[in-house]
Structure 1
Amino acid sequence: MGGINGDVGRNRRFPHGIDTIHFRQLELGDREKLEQMETGIEDDYVVRIFDRLIEHKEHKVFGLFAGDQLASVGGYTIFADQYAMLGRLRTDVRYRGEGLATKLLERVIQEIEKLDGVNWVGGNTQRHNYSGMKVLNKLGLPQLIDLHASTVVDDKKLNTETGPLWKEISELDEKKRWLNPLSKDPKTIFPYESYYPFPASPTLFKDEIIKNWMMFKNEAEDRFVIVKEDQKKYKYAQTIYLWEDLWEQPGLLKTISHAKHRLAQQSEEDIYIRFDLTDNQRAEVPDEDAFTFQDPWVLHGKWFDR
């Protein structure tokens, strides 16, 4: 995931002097410098996927160098053509306390502003990562929403017996009718992927994407739910429900469980139902033992003035 960690730790002057700090995009040949950073992170996934981050055009990774030593790393990933999500930020412990994370991301945002078609920049950090939130605030990225990443580990503890299955929305044109009002409301935060929510816009709902989503509507036809396959470390039936009455809707949990089992039949791996819960939804979870929860992720971001 692409979280923001910030600069915390010992306050030490740069061994090479402040004047030697310089910024540039990382290349494949920088792997050894990345491996030599002392970040305190065991089995750093950025090291493991470094080649992919460098070679895939939607990712960019940058570094601040103190002389020849890589002192701080961070970058961005482009989603749906117009959203730039900051992340993969880490600073060598020998250079912490000097605000390098902020300096680095200020330069990264300047690079993002040069990109054609990219209209939004943001970052995601966990609620108790105070240093990461401080960095995002310094960058002028306001807080938008807190979401609890919640995984169902025991389906049997969910009440899936009440109410009828919701009716599936299969036709692309009908999906678009439901989603078009949503796509025009940037105040709605839409969980586009696990760990990557964004303010809604039409680019999140392209035909070639939504045709593969499972969508269902309730009997009153005033609510819908999306269930789609997603994979981060594990494979998920990512569930998107945008109203607060998640636990009150008859047949909704039954429908989600049904959709998850359909996805599981197509997969050779274990698959888990995953929600991004608001604070209210999290507070009203009917059975805590059915879930595992993460510290809430806090989304920060803004639209560019173009």
Structure 2
Amino acid sequence: MSNKIRRLTSEDYELFAAMDTGIEDDYIKLFFERFAGGTNRLYGLFADGKLASMGGYSIFVGRYAMLGRLRSDRRFQGKSLATELMTHVKNEAFSAEGIRWVGGNTEEGNLPARRVLEKIGCKPKLTQYAATAKEVEAIERGEEVWQEIHSNGRKKSWLEKTYLAKSKVFPFQCYYPFPASDALFNENTLKDWTFYENKAGDRFFVTKHDQKRTHYLHVAYPWNDAREQKGFWQTVASAKQNLEDELGEEAHVWMDIPKDEITGLPANHPFKLNSVWVLYEAEK
């Protein structure tokens, strides 16, 4: 019997639940309906009438498609089904209206997923830590906090110089970094994000609220010299406190730090560095 690939809907949940993936407490079970609709797509490869492999993509700002949610039934392993499926998914993503970039972001140690991405023509672009900390007070030095930027013109000027000029990867959401483009920095995002600038006017960073089970103050800083910048960590701590006051809940700090720039953190930093991710991108 030949393999069949089709788009999945929320009505296909039971087919997914019947897969033998070996993953306990799979988060996809909780959000299957969401991942099958809206700006998300799920596809399934059927072998011998059973769902043998599943994967899909999510669309961001109408321009980017991030591949993911790859799951394989262990009873069908060794037949390159995941590669066959994700080749189809990648082609579907590129054919979607407005999509200019397709890629995937996976943990450095997830060798099966990395092999699939490479087999379908994706190339590694950036390896970075998803560095998280419950508190940053330990690295504060009692210095003056940075000023908040309110001018959209000033915000756009900073983004142009540091991210857009060279299509530098920007951490749009936790787990979702993309090569910078004007589409990422629209009026809504500029309004929802908070920008800070130091007194000398030669450094800035962005903070955003994100939630991946835990609430995070997601910090985007385009240099690797944070430990040398007076008031940087005081400002991060202050922004974190503001977020917690707004939410009425605890929040952690998240920073995406390229693997070769980790020395930019202070020696006594509180960040967990056990989560390393590789961003891949594909050519159309």
- Do the two structures share a fold, i.e. TM-score over 0.5? yes
Residue 120 of structure 2 corresponds to 139
Deviations 1:149-177 (A, max 9, x none): 111123332x2125321121012232122
Residue 240 of structure 1 corresponds to 220
Residue 66 of structure 1 corresponds to 47
d(CA) in 2 for partners of 1:209, 1:77: 18
Q: Is the 8 A contact 2:41 2:58 kept in 1?
A: yes
d(CA) in 1 for partners of 2:142, 2:249: 28
Q: Which runs of 4+ in 1 moved over 6 A?
A: none
Deviations 1:40-71 (A, max 9, x none): 00011112111112232x00000000132100
Residue 12 of structure 1 corresponds to none
288-297 or 47-56, which deviates more: 288-297
d(CA) in 2 for partners of 1:246, 1:289: 11
Task: Structure 2: give runs of 5+ residues left out of the alignment.
Answer: none
Residue 193 of structure 1 pairs with residue 165 of structure 2: no
Task: State the secondary structure of the residue aligned to 1:41.
Answer: coil
Q: Is the 8 A contact 2:244 2:250 kept in 1?
A: yes
d(CA) in 2 for partners of 1:220, 1:284: 20
Task: State the secondary structure of the residue aligned to 1:20.
Answer: coil
Residue 23 of structure 1 corresponds to 5
The alignment's TM-score, normalised by the length of structure 2, stands at 0.94
Report the residue type matching 1:25 in the other structure: R
103-112 or 281-290, which deviates more: 281-290
For residues 273-292 of structure 1, what are the structure 2 equivalents within 5 Å? 273-287=253-267, 290-292=270-272
For residues 112-151 of structure 1, what are the structure 2 equivalents within 5 Å? 112-151=93-132
Residue 148 of structure 2 corresponds to 168
Residue 7 of structure 1 corresponds to none
Task: State the secondary structure of the residue aligned to 1:179.
Answer: helix
Residue 268 of structure 1 pairs with residue 248 of structure 2: yes
Task: Structure 1: give runs of 5+ residues left out of the alignment.
Answer: 1-18
Distance 1:82 1:186, change over 3 A: farther
Task: State the secondary structure of the residue aligned to 1:29.
Answer: helix
Report the residue type matching 2:151 in the other structure: E
Residue 205 of structure 2 corresponds to 225
Q: Is the 8 A contact 1:183 1:202 kept in 2?
A: no
Q: Is the 8 A contact 1:122 1:301 kept in 2?
A: yes
Residue 90 of structure 1 corresponds to 71
d(CA) in 1 for partners of 2:233, 2:260: 17
Report the residue type matching 1:20 in the other structure: S
Deviations 1:55-105 (A, max 9, x none): 32x000000001321000000000111000000001000111211111111
Q: What displacement does 1:29 show? A: 2.1
Distance 1:62 1:43, change over 3 A: same
Q: Is the 8 A contact 2:4 2:46 kept in 1?
A: yes
Q: 2:182 aligns with which of 202, 213, 226?
A: 202
Q: What displacement does 1:182 show? A: 4.2
Residue 104 of structure 1 pairs with residue 85 of structure 2: yes
d(CA) in 2 for partners of 1:169, 1:303: 37
Q: Is the 8 A contact 1:59 1:75 kept in 2?
A: yes
Q: What displacement does 1:276 show? A: 0.8
Task: State the secondary structure of the residue aligned to 1:85.
Answer: strand
Q: Is the 8 A contact 1:142 1:300 kept in 2?
A: yes
Q: 1:177 aligns with which of 135, 157, 160?
A: 157
d(CA) in 1 for partners of 2:260, 2:166: 21
Q: What displacement does 1:284 show? A: 4.8
Distance 1:135 1:186, change over 3 A: farther
Residue 11 of structure 1 corresponds to none
d(CA) in 2 for partners of 1:99, 1:28: 26
Q: Is the 8 A contact 2:225 2:264 kept in 1?
A: no
Q: Is the 8 A contact 1:162 1:250 kept in 2?
A: no
